[in-house]
Structure 1
Amino acid sequence: MHTASSTAVRTGAFIAVAVALFCIQLDFFALNLAIPGISAELGVTVSAAQWSLSAYMLAIGCFFIVGGRVGDVFGRRGTLLAGTALFAAGSVGCALAPGLGPLVAARIAQGVGAAFVFPVAVSVITNTFPEQSRMKALGAVFGVANIGTALGPFVGGGFTEGPGWRWIFWVMVPLSLLSLLVALVYVPDSRDASVPRELDLLGCALIVCSLATLTTGVERADAWGWDSARTLTLFAVAVVTGGLFLVRERLTPHPLIDLRLLRNVPYVLVTVLGSLSNMGFVATVFLSTLYLQGVRGLSPLLAGTVFLAPALMVALSGPLGARLARHMRTTAVMALAGGIAGTGMYALTEVSAWWLYVPVFAWCGLGLGLGWTFSSVATQQVVAPARAGEASGVLMTFLVTLGAIALAGTAAAISAMTPQRAPEEAYDMILRLGGVAILATVAVVMALSHWLEAHGGIAARPGAPAGPGGGA
């Protein structure tokens, strides 16, 4: 590894990271359409089979911050290798699972592996590529990863109707091993040399407990009741452990999260818009799946085919974001994404003809994809490379946790509205509300961004010197 040319190292790092993220995205989006098949084969209800999705999302959301900081402190190469190996092992476990319990356990292993891979993968690119080509490399990496997003519904629907849902996981195994081998040979090691090789284990336990109880409470609230004792207890534990985590991070000399990160205004703005885009993305995909199969009566494979149009736009959003960032502030790119997403979500409720529905769906996918994809790229522009994993882990925690809340909230809203309204009417109301919320937030963020620019808080253009808030 050390004797390879710098070009070979960068190429190898790019391939290893891009393939790993491709697997994670494909795995996540392929399983949505396989839930009925899993339910039928394992002899469980659809609601129970849904835990194969929930467990994965729960594990990812809980361990993003830990994974990002482990990479910064102990070395990004080793963390990437360990996460990829765990993801591959979990994929084998999923493919061989004899029942729902083993499947959920293997999905948790996959999720923890993915949570270590994702933030470290971003920081590997940040620390391997020089500044002048870093943004382009990150955009290309997310372009490849989002091909997994594009193929996910199609692959999931196709395998479910064809050889079976287990093949979704078998596909992951050789791809994960390829990423592992390339990373082993080419990925150079890097870490935050300013801190000792020790981890805030108490902080890790508190943040994992807080996120796990919050996500589980949100996930199960619709079934248990939002005011049930179990739900309220989980929320109370989440609040208490979350508060203790913040106290711990203020007192410990080497925190899991440097809380000054949350005073970095450009980082916060990017995180807000990225989280909102991901919430919109999760809700729109869920509602569109219900609409296409429940209202339109499409099969899983045909529904997956319709998803190819917006998913292709999501795949293109990575390189597009990198190109736009050369000429626009990061917050401006995020606001543009929000504008496209908000108008797209609202417009989806106004069209029914296929010739118009599919391109509007694609327009919506472009905005939502650009929003949550570019947020991962943008955060790397407004934080120091030494703490790139930490910043990426915090961002992804917000994205996934709030995405889970959006999914649960959408399901609860449908349950509440459908006794009085037709399902299609309920779907439209939720999409309109989401679109308006994104557009309103964009307006607020842009007003704040312009005010900060006028007072020297952020850079006026890409590459310009930034004020105390950082470059945005």
Structure 2
Amino acid sequence: MGVFVAVAAALFCVQLDFFALNLAVPGIAVELGVTVSAAQWTLSAYMLAIGCFFVVGGRVGDVYGRRGALLVGIGLFAAGSVGCALAPGLGVLVVARIVQGVGAAFVFPVSVSVVTNAFPEEGRARVLGAVFGVANIGTAVGPFVGGGFTQGPGWRWIFWLMVPLSLFSLFVAFVHVPDSRDVSAPRELDLPGCALLVCALAAVTWAVERGDAWGWGSARTLVCFVVGVVAGVLFLVRERLARHPLVDLRLFRNVPYVLVTAMGSLSNMGYAVTVFLATLYLQGVRGLSPLLAGTVFLAPALLVAVSGPLGARLGRFMRPTLVMAVAGVVAGTGMYALAEVEVWWLYVPVFAWCGLGLGLGWTFSGVATQQVVAPERAGEASGVLLTFLVTSGGVALAGSAAVISAMTPQHPPQEVYDAILRVGGLVVLAGAVAVTVARHRLVRLGGALSADARAAGRGGAREPGGGP
């Protein structure tokens, strides 16, 4: 029980912090005397840090011990929260957000692998679903808390709230979380691989984040993309040659893992875009205050919270890829329907339906990957998944912002928002169809097990619910 409380509390803090701050950006800009575009770096820097260190955090836990990595992650997050609350200017605030992001990058994958290694296989999916359910309560109340604090005592109280919650999680983890690690791996970390991966992700994320401001064809944007691609290629070469790689590339021979990761990434892209557009619509088109906009977000966010336990229950009777395909159908239809809604009272339930599908997609992907990989590689698999989720979400968000900037002079904002939602909904639906077809073909060919699992005779990479 102590493991569950520690992990759930840590993930709750991370989710609450991120989703609360989205609605606080205008208030931050006003208090610190900067533009809203500059204040947006409080989100961008955090996402950049998370995206760069997910794989590193997961692998550090696998190699050196998951308990220590979790404690370090929670400690960094708590320290970053104090720094954010006390920040006298934007520069200090952004640095503190980076510290928070690095801490969160350790907390997420290590938390998943801690649960995977602490609970027996038959109850693992249920516990993970419950953990994500608690974490998604943070998602649910985040916008409401952010809007309320921004209009009330101020945005700094978002971070002050994180401090006691983080310290509580840190204490429970210190007392109750047992240590575990990949005993087959020596206590060596592929530092060149870490450096190349961080460089590649940082360059690409930086280019995506700043592309709209710099111009997508500008020299700075192109240089960042080139640096990212070169570093990425060198990283792949390094991982093929390293004795103890940061990421075992054989992971991508595990087809169920690849399908789950791809569908989870599409779901997170849809989630990032939908939340972004809904925020613009509610405050820009409807003219709602941050607090009222946060209240509207409660309905979809609550269903996102429900999606964690729901996914775990569905996973007991359905294959992970089938659950992901169902989530894609619900999410895709929800995004498309949201663009067609004209009546205000219908917007909230459609938004909630959309939140259920998108939340189920990106939440259950974390559970599903643990069902199709061996437990000793849980941190690595979770870190890779989360890197894809965050990076793809950032790309989708930047792409949406670029489309809005390009089209709004000629078209009304709502028309542009609706067009992006329709395209996004169709893309997510297409992904669900592709996953279903691929899964069906794998079952017919008897290829649901990864090459590694066949060689080792493991059942951990088999999808539950029958079939090969």
Q: Render the CA deviation track for 1:329-353: whole Å, top value 9, x for unaligned.
A: 0000000000000000000011122
Q: Which residue of 1 aligns with 2:463?
A: 471
Q: Deviations over 1:349-373 (max 9, x none)?
A: 1112222110000000000000000
* C-alpha RMSD of matched pairs (Å): 1.2
Correspondence for 2:339 among 349, 359, 363: 349
Tell me, yes or no, if the aligned pair for 2:374 and 2:460 is still in contact at 8 Å.
no
- 1:96 partnered with 2:86: yes
CA contact (8 A) 2:269 2:389 kept: yes
Aligned-partner Cα distance in 2 for 1:182–1:470: 33
- Give yes or no for the alignment of 1:17 onto 2:7: yes
Cα displacement string for residues 248-301 of structure 1 (whole angstroms, at most 9, x for unaligned residues): 000001000000001100000000000000000000000000000111110000
- Secondary structure of the residue that 1:380 maps to in structure 2? helix
Contact kept? 2:190, 2:244, Cα under 8 Å: yes
Q: Deviations over 1:364-423 (max 9, x none)?
A: 000000000000000000000001000000000000001000100000010111111100
Picking from 283, 293, 296, the partner of 1:293 is 283
* TM-score, scaled to structure 1: 0.96
3-state SS of paired residue (1:327):
coil
Deviation at 1:204, TM superposition (A): 0.3
C-alpha distance in structure 1 between counterparts of 2:359 and 2:199, whole Å: 30
Query: Deviation of residue 200 (structure 1)?
Result: 0.3
| Offset at residue 448 of structure 1 (A) | 1.0
CA distance in 1, matches of 2:382, 2:460: 21
Residue 275 in structure 1 maps to residue 265 in structure 2:
yes
Unaligned stretches of 5+ residues in structure 1: 1-10, 460-464
- The aligned counterpart of 2:250 is 260
Amino acid at match of 1:340: V
Q: Which amino acid aligns with 2:58?
A: G
Equivalent residues in 2 for 1:58-73, closer than 5 Å = 58-73=48-63
- Tell me the equivalent position of 1:208: 198
User: What is the rounded CA distance, in whole Å, between the counterparts of 1:224 and 1:262 in structure 2?
Assistant: 35
Cα deviation, residue 140, structure 1: 0.1
Instruction: Tell whether 2:19 aligns with 1:29.
Output: yes
1:448 to 419, 435, 438: 438
Identity of matched residues, %: 76
Secondary structure of the residue that 1:116 maps to in structure 2?
helix
Q: 1:337 aligns with which of 315, 327, 342?
A: 327
Report the Cα distance in structure 2 between the residues aligned to 1:133 and 1:468, rounded to whole angstroms: 14
Choose from 129, 145, 148 the match for 2:138.
148
Q: Is the aligned partner of 1:42 residue 2:55?
A: no
1:426 and 2:416 are equivalent in the alignment: yes
Are the equivalent residues in 1 in contact too, given 2:6–2:170 (CA < 8 A)?
Answer: yes
Relative to structure 1, is the Cα distance of residues 122 and 31 closer, same or farther in structure 2, using a 3 angstrom cutoff? same
CA contact (8 A) 1:158 1:301 kept: yes
Helix, strand or coil: the match of 2:371? coil
Contact kept, 8 Å, 1:265 with 1:469, in 2: the verdict is no
Q: What is the alpha-carbon distance in structure 2 between the residues aligned to residue 291 and residue 267 of structure 1?
A: 36
Is structure 2 residue 123 aligned with structure 1 residue 133? yes
Distance 1:295 1:364 in 2: 20
Asked if the contact 2:133–2:306 (Cα under 8 Å) also holds between the matched residues in 1, the reply is yes
- 1:407 equivalenced with 2:397 (yes/no): yes
TM-score, reference length from structure 2? 0.96
In the aligned structure 1, how far is the partner of 2:297 from the partner of 2:94? 26
Cα deviation digits, residues 110-136 of structure 1 (max 9, x gap): 000000110000000000011111000
Give the C-alpha shift of residue 467 in structure 1: 9.4
8 Å CA contact 2:375–2:460 kept in 1: the answer is: no
Distance 2:154 2:15 in 1: 19
- Aligned residue in 2 for 1:5: none
2:406 equivalent to 1:416: yes
C-alpha distance in structure 2 between counterparts of 1:289 and 1:105, whole Å:
26
Matches within 5 A, 1:143-182: 143-182=133-172
Distance of 1:169 and 1:469 partners within structure 2? 40
Corresponding residue for residue 380 of structure 2: 390
- Write the letter of the residue equivalent to 2:49: A
Cα distance, 1:468 vs structure 2: 11
CA contact (8 A) 2:373 2:460 kept: no
Per-residue CA deviations over 1:66-101 (Å, capped at 9, x if unaligned) read 000000000000000001000000000000000000
Structure 2: where are the runs of 5+ without partners? Answer: 450-456
Report the equivalent of 2:454.
Answer: none
Q: Give the deviation of 1:174 after TM superposition.
A: 0.3
How many angstroms apart in 2 are the aligned matches of 1:266 and 1:285?
28
Partner amino acid for 1:128?
A
1:62–1:211 contact (8 Å) kept in structure 2: yes
Letter in structure 1 aligned against 2:274: T
Relative to structure 1, the CA distance from residue 401 to residue 189 in structure 2 (aligned partners, 3 Å threshold; closer, same or farther) is: same
Aligned residues: 457
The one-character-per-residue Cα deviations of 1:29-67 (angstroms, maximum 9, x if unpaired) are: 000100010000000000000000000000000000000
Aligned partner (choices 220, 241, 257) of residue 210 of structure 2:
220
Determine the C-alpha separation between the residues in 1 that align with 2:436 and 2:377.
27
1:223 partner letter: A
Q: Is the 8 A contact 1:457 1:469 kept in 2?
A: no
Deviation at residue 471 of structure 1 after TM alignment: 2.6
Give the conservation status (yes or no) of the 8 Å contact 1:70–1:79.
yes
Determine if contact 1:59/1:111 at 8 Å carries over to the other structure.
yes
Of 91, 94, 100, which aligns to 1:110? 100
Give the Cα–Cα distance (whole angstroms) in 2 for the partners of residues 103 and 285 of structure 1: 24
Partner residue, 1:121: 111
Instruction: State how far apart, in whole Å, the 1-side matches of 2:112 and 2:460 are.
Output: 25
Q: Which runs of 4+ in 1 moved over 2 A?
A: 465-472
How far has the Cα of 1:442 moved from its partner?
1.0
Q: CA deviation at 1:470?
A: 4.1
C-alpha contact 1:457 1:468 (8 A) present in aligned 2: no
Partner in structure 1 of residue 453 of structure 2: none
CA contact (8 A) 1:457 1:470 kept: no
